[in-house]
Amino acid sequence: MIVAHALDECLAIGGGPGSGKTTALVERADRLAADSPPGATLLLAPSDAGVARLRARATANVACTSFGDLAFALLHDARAVDGCPDDVEEIDDVRASQHFERAGAALFALEWTEFADELDPEITGLRAPERFSAAAFRLIRKLRASLISPEDFKALGLRGATTFYARPPNLASADLIMETGAKYRDSLRVGPGELERQRLREVDLVKILARLYASYLEVLVRNGCMTPTDAVYEAATLLRARPDLRERASARYAAALVDDAVDVTPGQLALLEAIFGEKLRHVTFAGDAAQATRGFATGALGPGILKRAATTIVLDERRRGDPEIERAARRVLDPRDATAGPLAAEDGAVTLYRAETPRDEARFVTAEIEALVRAGTPPGEIAIVSRGLGCAQTYVNALLARNVPVDVAGAGSLYEYPVVLDALAALWSAVDPFRHDFLLRSLEAPWLRLGDASIATLCADASDPQPLLFELPDDVPETGDRRWDRRRDLRLGRNVTRGDVDADLPDETRERLAAFRIVRARWEDAARTLGLAQHARAILDESVLATLASGARRRFDAGLVARLIDEIDAFARRDPLATLEDFLAHAESVAVAEADLLSIAPRDATAVRVLDVEAAKGEEFDAVFVVDVRAGGWPRYYVPDAFLFMPSAGMIPKENVGDADAARTAKFTYALFRYKIREKYVAEERRALYCAMTRARRKLFVSAAGRPTKGNAAPEILEELQRARR
């Protein structure tokens, strides 16, 4: 019925986990593609991982693509129509954040003279420039995803300030006071003068952020680059303004089918509307309202997008998962759900466990996984799912210590793993031996294994130094450090590469360093004949990869190094003339980026998977371990940025600054109460946990460590499940 449903109206396919939504969507796409030109049927997903899953299931006639790739294709086509050079470069969010930092540098250097006479220096967040910059970039990403321009943002912000402060709400309301924590109730004791002061600062904040937003876009245009989110914004705006391009896109694409539709952003929806019209004819959505987890992160539309469909078909059949797992997940979603029924006693499909410490929790998880593998469950059918990858390393190390193969995927930094840092150290030692931070790591790495005493000798002067052929100049620049000595800055690298202290080293150490110098010379020669990617591979083959441990540890570390090589390959494709030093400088900037801007792609489908929630979406396993289910871990505490933005309310600064008696602004305290922001955040955290639990087919383990809290700031969901036992 779904496959053959008419195309002249928008269709939504709903249903719970394992009900066959994606299968029905792909079958419908395959049928439509059979009657359409190749590439005319679009199969879309909001995430790259979702697109990869669709590609593995659809036929060749279906165009499986992301919204970003679709937008870039439309922009390239528009440039071809207009006869303009196709010079738009796709960049990721990390590079975009670097452009944003450059755009905001003038603000923090106080170079924006147009604000000098009207802005109060005491603006929310400006006292911590790095924090302000990160929060501003997160806000701008959401504005772009919601198709809000700098001009619209400024107008909405100023209107929101006027609306709130012209007719302030009743800040003495009993309900408001009761729902506000005692430590923040002083923010509600404000008079007209204090409210006017807060209004002026809010208006200044709006102007600063609007200027930052506009400057960021100017930098992007000047550098000819866009992120996928920027491309969606530009493509949707362009099609709205150009009927000829809109008609061209409508003729090119016959239908669009969107999986995980609840994670679609307003900008992505606007792009679909620009191609298929406001009624979204020829568009099919598939999604589960209970798995909407991206509202706070990206401004995703959530269940509301499914209501845009003219017809909704709900799939009731559940094709995976023990009924006990489903009951537990429904209780997490809504602890007041009376229809969920009580949970069975222990030893059923659901195991609940509270450990004393995180290490004890990791030991429990590892022991259970070992038992499952011994009983015949393939490692690839087991997953550990956490809210984020911040706690993942504990479980990875525990499993590798038991020689259990592991793979990791989700939002996180590749550069946090020791073997990747060892690889970077090897690459740096070939490029610049005077980067002593990396050189020290290379000396301690497995391919050299120098002891502390040898390293101390290498850091010191020789006991019988040879006189220098040329003396170092005396007129060195003033650095502010009276102990500065150029010889000290060069000493370690000089001793390693030139051998000035070889006579003071043990024979074994001297032999290792001699071999290292020969290898370094070969690496330097290779840079003249090999491209960037080949040069890096040659270095890593003779250093990190040649000395990896055995068993599961070797398999895991090799996978991480392979990901690093993939990044080097991608960097070399973007800039064919780049050198290894160029990549290493790029890697240093990426390594310090915000974790939510980075991701680690899955690589080993036959190993135990350690995933965050977004990486686990759409997957299913025989056994799933949902870990760190404690207040503050899962659900996370609600920690808002220095300022929030809502189209209906404008800017909502959190911090009160200047001559203020309270730490928070009255508007922020009221907004938490009026819009139930914390409650909505916790509800999304519950949906994320529900999504993780329903990845399990046969066995589900839910665990946490430490004593449960009272559950005031965030609920103790593991305790809720314990109380639901018969």
Q: How many CA atoms are closer than 13 Å to the CA of 360, on its beta-carbon side? A: 10
Residue 481: predicted pLDDT: 47
Q: Which of 32-41, 48-57, 238-247, 330-339 has the lowest mean pLDDT?
A: 330-339
Calpha distance 513→511 (Å, rounded): 5
Local confidence band at 601 (pLDDT 50, 70, 90 cut-offs): very high
Tokens 């504990």 belong to residue: 394
Q: Decide if pLDDT at 460 tops 90.
A: no
DSSP assignment of 165-211 equals HHS---TT-HHHHHHS-GGGGGGG---HHHHHHHHHHHHHHHHHHHH
Distance CA 565, CA 84 (A): 35
Q: Give 177's DSSP letter.
A: H
- CA dihedral (394, 397, 400, 402) positive or negative: negative
- The answer to whether the CB of 260 falls within 8 A of the CB of 287 is yes
> Which of 549, 553, 467, 547 lies closest to 515 in space, CA to CA?
547
Contact in structure between 10 and 310 (CB atoms under 8 Å)? yes
Residue 240: burial class (beta carbons within 10 Å; 0-12, 13-18, 19+):
middle
Beta bridge partners, 255, equal 41
Residue spans of beta strands (DSSP E) within 30-133: 41-45, 63-66, 89-90
Which of the four pLDDT bands, split at 50, 70 and 90, describes residue 120? low
Task: Give the model confidence (pLDDT) of 398-436 as tens digits.
Answer: 999 999 999 999 999 999 999 999 999 999 999 999 998
Contact (CB, 8 A) for 352 and 721: yes
Is 634 in contact with 387 (CB distance < 8 Å)? yes
Nearest to 544 by CA among 633, 444, 466, 684: 444
Q: What DSSP letter does each residue of 136-149 carry, written as one string? A: HHHHHHHHHHTT--
What's the DSSP call for residue 725? Answer: B
Distance CA 635, CA 615 (A): 17
703 and 355 Cβ atoms separated by less than 8 Å: yes
Return the DSSP state at 305: G
Question: How far apart, in whole angstroms, are the C-alpha atoms of residue 614 and residue 293?
Answer: 8
User: Residue 348, SS3?
Assistant: coil
What value does the mean pLDDT of the chain take?
Answer: 89
Share of the chain above pLDDT 90, in %: 70
| pLDDT (average), residues 441-457 | 92
Asked whether residue 373 carries a pLDDT value surpassing 80, the answer given is yes
Complete domains list, the chain, with CATH = 11-89+227-315 (3.40.50.300), 93-226 (no CATH), 325-414+603-640+677-723 (3.40.50.300), 415-592 (1.10.486.10)
Q: Looking at residue 528, what DSSP letter applies?
A: H
- Burial bucket for residue 230 (CB in 10 Å: 0-12, 13-18, 19+): buried
Provide the terminal-to-terminal Cα distance of the chain, rounded to the nearest Å.
41
Q: Is 276 within 8 Å of 249 (Cβ atoms)?
A: no
* C-alpha to C-alpha distance for 3 and 24, rounded to whole angstroms: 7
The DSSP symbol for 292 reads: -
Q: Residue 565: which of 422, 438, 430, 423 has the closest Cα?
A: 423
Lowest mean pLDDT among 363-377, 484-498, 699-713: 484-498
pLDDT tier at 99, thresholds 50, 70, 90? confident
| Dist. CA 691–CA 292, nearest whole Å | 9
pLDDT of residue 98: 87
pLDDT of residue 665: 93
Residue 264: C-alpha distances to residues 17, 145, 276, 528 (Å):
18, 10, 16, 47
Q: Which two tokens stand for residue 62?
A: 């279906």
Q: Which two tokens stand for residue 23?
A: 């299968």
pLDDT in tens, 603-640: 999 999 999 999 999 999 999 999 999 999 999 999 98
Average pLDDT, integer, range 676-688: 96
pLDDT of residue 692: 96
- The pLDDT score that the predictor gives to residue 630 is 95
Of 30-34, 92-96, 656-660, least confident by mean pLDDT is 656-660
pLDDT at 310 over 50: yes
pLDDT of residue 484: 40
In terms of average pLDDT, the best of 214-223, 483-492, 540-549 is: 540-549
Chain segment 533-568, per-residue pLDDT in tens: 999 999 999 999 999 999 999 999 999 999 999 999
DSSP letter (8 states) at residue 446? T
Q: What is the Cα–Cα distance from 593 to 413, expressed in whole angstroms?
A: 8
Closest to 368 in 3D by CA, of 698, 95, 141, 593: 698
pLDDT (average), residues 105-130: 59
474 has a pLDDT exceeding 80? no
The Cα angle at residue 486 between residues 481 and 487, in degrees rounded to 5: 125
For range 377-404, the mean pLDDT:
95
At 359, list the tokens: 């290490």
pLDDT class of 482 with cuts at 50, 70, 90: very low
User: What confidence score (pLDDT) does residue 222 get?
Assistant: 78
- Provide the pLDDT for residue 473: 54
CA distance 264 to 262: 6
Those residues with Cβ within 8 angstroms of residue 321's Cβ, 6 or more apart along the chain or in another chain = 17, 18, 694, 696, 697
Chain position carrying tokens 């009924």: 323
Element (H, E) at 644: strand 643-646
* CA proximity to 274, closest of 233, 236, 241: 236
Residue 90's nearest CA partner among 122, 68, 108, 116 is 68
What's residue 483's pLDDT? Answer: 43
- Distance between CA 184 and CA 646 in Å, rounded? 22
- The pLDDT tens digits for 252-283 are 999 999 999 999 999 999 999 999 999 999 99
The reported pLDDT for the residue numbered 103 is 79
Tell me which of 56-60, 72-76, 338-342, 513-517 is least confident: 338-342
| Average pLDDT of span 557-581 | 94
Question: What tokens does 362 get?
Answer: 């990791």
Instruction: Provide mean pLDDT across the span 649-653.
Output: 95
Q: Residue 126 has what DSSP assignment? A: T
pLDDT band at 391 (very low <50, low <70, confident <90, very high): confident
Neighbours of 712 (CB within 10 A): 9
pLDDT the model gives residue 147: 95
Q: From CA 688, how far away is CA 616, in angstroms rounded?
A: 10
Q: Are 354 and 629 in contact (CB under 8 A)?
A: no
Could you tell me how many residues make up the chain?
Answer: 726
The one-letter code for the residue type at 259 is D
Q: What angle do CA 700, 701, 702 make, to 5 degrees?
A: 120
Task: Provide the pLDDT confidence category of residue 485 given band limits of 50, 70 and 90.
Answer: very low
How big is the chain by its Cα radius of gyration, in Å?
29
* Top-confidence range, 69-83, 92-106, 369-383, 658-672: 369-383
User: Of residues 490 and 466, which shows the higher confidence score?
Assistant: 490
Q: How far is CA 694 from the centre of its chain?
A: 22
